[in-house]
Amino acid sequence: MTLIHQQNKSAIKVFCKTLYDFDEKAVQSILREMLARDAVCHLCHPFGDVAADQIYE
Protein backbone atom coordinates (compact mmCIF):
# COMPACT_ATOMS: atom_id res chain seq x y z
CA MET A 1 0.00 0.00 0.00
CA THR A 2 1.31 3.45 -0.84
CA LEU A 3 1.95 6.18 1.68
CA ILE A 4 -1.02 8.29 0.51
CA HIS A 5 -3.40 5.37 1.12
CA GLN A 6 -2.02 4.92 4.62
CA GLN A 7 -2.43 8.64 5.30
CA ASN A 8 -6.03 8.56 4.03
CA LYS A 9 -6.87 5.53 6.17
CA SER A 10 -5.35 7.21 9.20
CA ALA A 11 -7.33 10.42 8.60
CA ILE A 12 -10.58 8.48 8.19
CA LYS A 13 -9.87 6.48 11.36
CA VAL A 14 -9.44 9.71 13.36
CA PHE A 15 -12.58 11.18 11.76
CA CYS A 16 -14.65 8.07 12.62
CA LYS A 17 -13.43 8.12 16.23
CA THR A 18 -14.30 11.81 16.49
CA LEU A 19 -17.80 11.11 15.17
CA TYR A 20 -18.22 8.19 17.58
CA ASP A 21 -17.23 10.31 20.61
CA PHE A 22 -19.23 13.19 19.13
CA ASP A 23 -18.11 16.62 20.20
CA GLU A 24 -19.35 19.33 17.84
CA LYS A 25 -16.20 21.46 18.03
CA ALA A 26 -13.91 18.44 17.52
CA VAL A 27 -15.89 17.28 14.46
CA GLN A 28 -15.80 20.77 12.96
CA SER A 29 -12.05 20.93 13.56
CA ILE A 30 -11.48 17.60 11.78
CA LEU A 31 -13.67 18.70 8.86
CA ARG A 32 -11.65 21.92 8.52
CA GLU A 33 -8.52 19.79 8.16
CA MET A 34 -10.07 17.29 5.73
CA LEU A 35 -12.17 19.48 3.41
CA ALA A 36 -11.13 22.24 1.07
CA ARG A 37 -12.90 25.53 1.82
CA ASP A 38 -14.66 25.40 -1.58
CA ALA A 39 -15.66 21.71 -1.38
CA VAL A 40 -19.26 20.62 -1.92
CA CYS A 41 -20.53 17.73 0.21
CA HIS A 42 -23.20 15.61 -1.45
CA LEU A 43 -25.46 14.38 1.36
CA CYS A 44 -28.50 12.12 1.30
CA HIS A 45 -32.10 13.36 1.02
CA PRO A 46 -33.38 15.69 2.50
CA PHE A 47 -30.06 17.53 2.95
CA GLY A 48 -28.79 17.57 -0.64
CA ASP A 49 -25.59 19.45 -1.48
CA VAL A 50 -23.94 21.47 1.27
CA ALA A 51 -20.98 23.80 0.80
CA ALA A 52 -18.04 23.06 3.09
CA ASP A 53 -18.15 26.55 4.62
CA GLN A 54 -21.68 25.79 5.88
CA ILE A 55 -20.41 22.66 7.62
CA TYR A 56 -17.75 24.63 9.50
CA GLU A 57 -20.33 26.75 11.31
pTM score, whole prediction = 0.65
Q: Is 43 left (phi over 0), alpha (psi -120 to 50) or beta?
A: beta
Report pLDDT for 57.
Answer: 63
Report pLDDT for 16.
Answer: 94
Q: Is 23 left (phi over 0), alpha (psi -120 to 50) or beta?
A: beta
Report pLDDT for 9.
Answer: 93
Report pLDDT for 37.
Answer: 85
Report pLDDT for 1.
Answer: 62
User: What pLDDT, in 10s, does the model give residues 13-57?
Assistant: 999 999 999 998 998 889 888 888 888 989 898 989 988 878 766
24, 32 in Cβ contact below 8 A? Answer: no
